[in-house]
Amino acid sequence: MDDNTPQEITNQNLNFENRLDLAPLLAHINAIKKELGTVIVGQSKMIDQLLVAILANGHVLLEGVPGVAKTITAKLLAKTLNIGFSRIQFTPDLMPSDILGTSVFSIKNSEFEFKKGPIFSNLILIDEINRAPAKTQAALFEVMEERQITIDGSQYILETPFLVIATQNPIEQEGTYRLPEAQLDRFLFKITIDYPKLDEEIAIIQREHTLQNHGKLEAIQTVLSGIEIKNYQDLVKSIVVEQNLLEYIARIVVNTRENAFLYLGASPRASIAILNAAKGFAAINGRDFVTPEDIKEAAIPVLQHRVIVTPEREMEGISSHEIIKQILESVEIPR
């Protein structure tokens, strides 16, 4: 027994030394949370999901009624990142060229020159994304999936990182257009923002009274650079996921296709999204390995906008969120 103890300790030390160094990442994550916390009250789960989306290099759809800080949260997050930021207000008369850019004839050079649109940035805030018509929605397909734009036969590769945060109001239907399933599938997360609780509402009012005429964005400090974001995204990709957890993800996704309450199940893109998001949740919790809890934490925001509830269950008031929770409870957790 005594002879084996030093060897066991040596092996443990070797394993520890070979693990990923997540300390700088955690320090930056906590710093961003601190900056956002100076303005945003509560919503810690939403902030965690936004940070995971950045680490997983995924786009986010924020859904909530007006006044629950969807837009201000995106603007505050952009302020903490030293990268390009662009805001696009979607309206029914918005054209694809208003987003992507257009070719303009130059009298000086006697030839057409491409003028880049607001999509050519790093972090894009799309406000009220469901107010633009189908042709404008379709303009986002290529850029969100492939991080490139093809116009007039020429390809333009966007700078890294490239992330889209879009907002939409689920209540108002007049003057809005339902997002096509192909576009919804390109969002890593759909984050639903609820009303604050009573104590949070009081804190919001108190903070607003304290700030008075001072701008909410003025005191926010920059925390992360574009290069650091790219490095952390590469680091998170290296987080360990055991084979039985890969199978666990697959069983969850396949269950959505076989569930009697769902008209449309999730695609393999959803499986990959859960994998990448679970790595992000592991990272912000200081672990270099994924646990079943990370997968369960990722599953609902990844899947709830990728599945369609059957009309019968929808009429009964059953949401995709509830069905996914039932699936997570029914699929056996790996031991």
On whether both 92 and 151 belong to a single domain, the answer is: yes
33-to-11, 37, 46, 77, 301 alpha-carbon distances in Å: 36, 6, 11, 9, 20
Whether residue 15 is contained in a domain is answered as no
Burial tier of 70 (Cβ tally within 10 Å: 0-12, 13-18, 19+)? buried
Confidence at residue 8, expressed as pLDDT on a 0 to 100 scale: 45
What pLDDT does residue 110 have? 75
Q: Where residue 39 sits, what CATH number does that domain have? A: 3.40.50.300
Which of residues 146, 179, 213 is at a domain's end? Answer: 213
Residue 16 counted as domain residue: no
Please indicate whether residue 231 or residue 200 has the higher confidence score (pLDDT): 231
Is there a single domain that holds both residue 199 and residue 260?
no
Residues 87 and 205 in one domain: yes
Distance CA 38, CA 158 (A): 32
Residue 19 or residue 281, greater confidence: 281
In a domain, 127, yes or no: yes
Same domain membership, residue 283 and residue 179 = no
Q: Which span out of 58-72, 127-141, 146-160, 234-248 was modeled with the highest average pLDDT?
A: 234-248
Instruction: Compute the radius of gyration of the chain from its Cα atoms.
Output: 22
Tens of pLDDT, residue by residue over 278-290, are 999 999 999 999 9
Name which of 1-15, 152-166, 167-181 the model is least confident about. Answer: 1-15
What pLDDT shows up at residue 68? 77
Q: What's the pLDDT tens digit per position in 323-334?
A: 999 999 999 998
For 288-317, letters b (16+ CB in 10 Å) and e give: bebbbebbbbbbbbbbbbbbebbeebeeee
What pTM, to 2 d.p., does this model score?
0.86
Give the pair of three-digit tokens for residue 102.
């257009």
44 and 152, same domain (yes or no): yes
Same structural domain for residues 186 and 63?
yes
pLDDT over 70 at 101, yes or no: yes
Contact by Cβ (8 Å): 47, 191 = no
Token pair 């992507």: residue: 100
The confidence score (pLDDT) of residue 2 equals: 47
Average pLDDT over residues 162-170: 90
210-223, pLDDT tens digit by residue?
776 566 677 788 88
pLDDT at 17: 44
Instruction: Evaluate whether residue 1 is within a structural domain.
Output: no
For residue 16, the model assigns a pLDDT of 44
250 lies in the same domain as 174: no
* Mean pLDDT calculated for residue range 306-322: 90
The DSSP bridge pattern shows strands 59-63 and 163-168 to be parallel
Domain range for residue 182?
Answer: 21-213
CB hemisphere CA count around 7 (13 angstroms): 4
Averaged pLDDT for residues 10-37: 73
Q: Which of 105-114, 132-141, 236-245 has the lowest average pLDDT?
A: 105-114
Question: Are residues 197 and 256 located together in one domain of the fold?
Answer: no
Q: Residue 216's pLDDT is what?
A: 67
Query: Is 160 within the bounds of a domain?
Result: yes
Q: What pLDDT sits at residue 295? A: 95
* Res 331: pLDDT: 92
- CATH, residue 271: 1.10.8.80
Which of 225, 270, 279, 312 minimizes the C-alpha distance to 56?
A: 279
Q: What is the tally of structural domains in the chain?
A: 2
- pLDDT number for residue 213: 59
Examine residue 227 and state whether it is found in any structural domain, yes or no: no
On whether residue 11 sits in a domain, the answer given is no
Average pLDDT over residues 39-57: 89
At residue 193, the pLDDT reads 87
Q: Domain for residue 302, yes or no?
A: yes
| Same domain (yes/no): 259, 149 | no
243 with 160, same domain: the answer is: no
232-273, pLDDT tens digit by residue? 999 999 999 999 999 999 999 999 999 999 998 999 999 999
The overall average pLDDT reported for the chain is: 86
Q: Are residues 204 and 256 in the same domain?
A: no
Q: Are residues 26 and 115 in the same domain?
A: yes
